[in-house]
Structure 1
């Protein structure tokens, strides 16, 4: 009868709030690993003297009848579940770890404390539900931009300070899992890991991957892998996140078809390409003219159906998206057969002749006197002056007696053709006659 009165008194204490227990409502446990139940409790202050180092803790599964349903006793090693109370019961910490978890560990667990004399209490008002799983749950991946969490599918701007966070409950505190990061393009990744308690007072492992977003990471998939080292095997699970980075135009280039060196009269097309996110919405073409850029047209290509030598020059393509612009240029080189623009002679004590020509590529000049090639000698001096990449002048001085039948010929040629002109040389300048020319 006295024991019944004491029991009723203790139960009244439960409802009065003197006897409380803190347990996680639900715990995931991995088969083959261990599981930790974080546990603290309170008792009525008048029984503190009975909570000594000799106090014992018990776990009752699927019910509160400690006479039949006890699966763990801190002072017995031959009960159903192997484990230990790693908390100090005297300090009202009943945190417990079960080893070698099997599916039989699944169920509802109630805690019971027994101390000296009448301190005996089963905390029936709250329990912990253990759910044993065969393979680990996928870790949780979050994305933070400039320290603010954003949706994992959201696009971020290049230059943003990024943090990818991978987290998971450790399930077994004595043998916590490891988190590792990898990526589809094998980037060098620097991460930092830590352990902390979550809102349910369960230990979780966290790995943060910090970096500054660049265009090189656009479309890259980052993979977080959790690995549990079990007695017989290792088991893993993964979560993924694909980074979407917006950035201004980059890698702008111009391709020329068939080539940037084409023959006069042929067709040539300039095509501009650029990388950007969002995609380029406008291409503008310019031509350098007198040190200024002259706008020609918009569109990704620029075509000349019939080229002429005036089309030679530097062309610019400007690519633009919402985040910026980028320019690139190409030199268009129109080639043509050579032509003689000036051929004249002057006679004083010597005969001095000038042959001026242009062509692309720049032509070569040869001199012929009465059909025979002329080179530098005692009586002949030849010099050359290149005016630019397409024009040149060639001079010849003749220190010899000439007859009425002597002719001087200027012959020019490049890879696209040749041209020539000749003059009949006589004793006096008044009698010099320019003869036929050929090309």
Structure 2
């Protein structure tokens, strides 16, 4: 019976041999793990190969090897129908060509007019003299679909208000002969730059970079990157939507007071601050303005106080990591307090009303004073100082005795004129009966004065002492 130590030695030697056998690769290929392809388009398979060190002597690089693609399984000898392409043959099951330089171990291959039946795993093999080998470890998985893959949007850094930012959109290019066109949809003006680039796995992609300066108004707005792939005579489209996350300082900060109506001393009022910010506001601070002095009175979203004084103005400040925002002042009105801050609109209306009242009063006073002077003038003229006839027996025109007065023109309106009147020349001798009537307080009669014979002149006040132009009986 063998010793346990010898048994463990034999088992270890056996396992080492198994690992060496299964771990040996006669050909080492480098290919992408997966390729997404559009129906009707082409697909390029980036490919390179190498020979293990112990087989390098067998491989003659001077002799150009043939490239063979095997579908589904690397053991093609059992199923020769799995060989879909051989560069040494003129006719193959798949239409394509090896575009890489095989003498430099570049096996990059392009297949045309891809259909959904192409979806499968593919292995690569080289055939040359005297060395041929297949890599059974590294296949490429080709996935064919009718719709293209969506592009990918990435952000370089934080999207902050007022700071220029760049967004990247990339789309795969399975067929470099017909790369997709990328377009952007943004809620603001922007500039773009497009370029075709090679990825670490040697696949190709289109990269579009857009640069813009975000505003807080762009927060939570959608942006879109659209990829348009040309396939034959038509296009196939895919897009990616993303919501912008813009960081900004507090905006639209406002303070409100409840109740808004004047309150009594001893009652309770509640002040509330609101603001929009990203990230959210972390600190609210309340201030009071009283007698021209600003004082911090509280912290927090809401501020509740018992009314003990004469009110005042209040405002709040909202702050986050990007800055702060200040609200407008709100008035705490107290019933019966004479120190309220007057609303400018109410003050303007009151001032306008008072001004109009004063203006009307001045005009009324002026008219009253003028009428008083005119009335006093008439009384002096009507006083019994040798006059025989009542005031108002003045002629209506200046035509001589026996002459017919001129008729006014039909198209011209009758005008009322003022003229100089000398009552000393118009006085008649007073009869005893007239004197008796005057003494008994007979009311003087007034008649309309219409002077049409000459240009009217306003009688000076020192002569007529405020005679009316129209005297109503």
With the shorter chain as reference, the TM-score category is 0.5 to 0.7
Matched, 1:110 2:111: no
Is contact 1:113–1:120 with CA below 8 Å preserved after alignment?
yes
Instruction: Write out aligned runs for 1:270-285 (5 A).
Output: 274-277=275-278, 278-279=280-281, 282=284, 284=286
Matched, 1:174 2:167: no
CA distance in 1, matches of 2:181, 2:41: 14
SS of corresponding position for 2:60? helix
CA distance in 2, matches of 1:298, 1:118: 87
* Deviation for aligned residue 1:128: 1.9
Q: What's 1:226 paired with?
A: 227
Q: Quick one: structure 1 residues 69 and 50, their matched pair in 2 at CA, closer, same or farther if it must change by over 3 Å?
A: farther
Is contact 1:274–1:319 with CA below 8 Å preserved after alignment?
no
Question: What CA RMSD, in Å, does the superposition of the two structures yield over aligned residues?
Answer: 4.7
* Deviation for aligned residue 1:32: 1.8
Q: What's 1:34 paired with?
A: 42
* Deviation for aligned residue 1:34: 1.2
Q: Quick one: structure 1 residues 363 and 236, their matched pair in 2 at CA, closer, same or farther if it must change by over 3 Å?
A: same
Instruction: Write out aligned runs for 1:327-338 (5 A).
Output: 327-329=326-328, 333-334=342-343
* Deviation for aligned residue 1:132: 1.5
Q: Quick one: structure 1 residues 132 and 288, their matched pair in 2 at CA, closer, same or farther if it must change by over 3 Å?
A: same
CA displacement 1:41-90 (0-9 Å, x = unmatched)? 224255335423xx432222223426433212335453221111111112
Is contact 1:181–1:189 with CA below 8 Å preserved after alignment?
no
Q: What's 1:59 paired with?
A: 69
TM-score, length-scaled by structure 2: 0.54
How many residues are paired up?
Answer: 320
- In the alignment, structure 1 segments of 5+ residues that lack a partner are 1-11, 147-155, 263-268, 304-309, 339-358, 379-439
Matched, 1:209 2:200: no
* Deviation for aligned residue 1:14: 12
Matched, 1:326 2:325: yes
* Deviation for aligned residue 1:367: 8.4
Q: What's 1:374 paired with?
A: 366
CA distance in 2, matches of 1:175, 1:87: 19
Q: What's 1:47 paired with?
A: 59
- In the alignment, structure 2 segments of 5+ residues that lack a partner are 1-19, 263-269, 305-309, 331-340, 371-473
Q: Quick one: structure 1 residues 13 and 120, their matched pair in 2 at CA, closer, same or farther if it must change by over 3 Å?
A: farther
Q: What's 2:239 paired with?
A: 238
SS of corresponding position for 2:117? helix
TM-score, length-scaled by structure 1: 0.58
Q: What's 1:127 paired with?
A: 139
* Deviation for aligned residue 1:99: 1.0
Is contact 1:50–1:119 with CA below 8 Å preserved after alignment?
no
CA distance in 2, matches of 1:129, 1:274: 53
* Deviation for aligned residue 1:298: 7.9
CA displacement 1:236-271 (0-9 Å, x = unmatched)? 2222322223322224467999x99x9xxxxxx999
* Deviation for aligned residue 1:283: 6.2
* Deviation for aligned residue 1:39: 0.8
* Deviation for aligned residue 1:228: 1.5
Is contact 1:285–1:298 with CA below 8 Å preserved after alignment?
no
* Deviation for aligned residue 1:203: 1.9
In our comparison, the structure showing a higher alpha carbon Rg is 2
Is contact 2:253–2:317 with CA below 8 Å preserved after alignment?
yes
CA distance in 2, matches of 1:105, 1:145: 40
Q: Quick one: structure 1 residues 294 and 35, their matched pair in 2 at CA, closer, same or farther if it must change by over 3 Å?
A: same
Q: What's 2:315 paired with?
A: 317
More strand by percentage: 1
Which of 66, 87, 103 is equivalent to 1:90? 103
Matched, 1:363 2:364: no
Of stretches 221-230 and 292-301 in structure 1, the one that deviates more from structure 2 is 292-301
CA displacement 1:72-130 (0-9 Å, x = unmatched)? 23354532211111111122111001111101212222223334x43444444432222
CA distance in 2, matches of 1:337, 1:181: 53
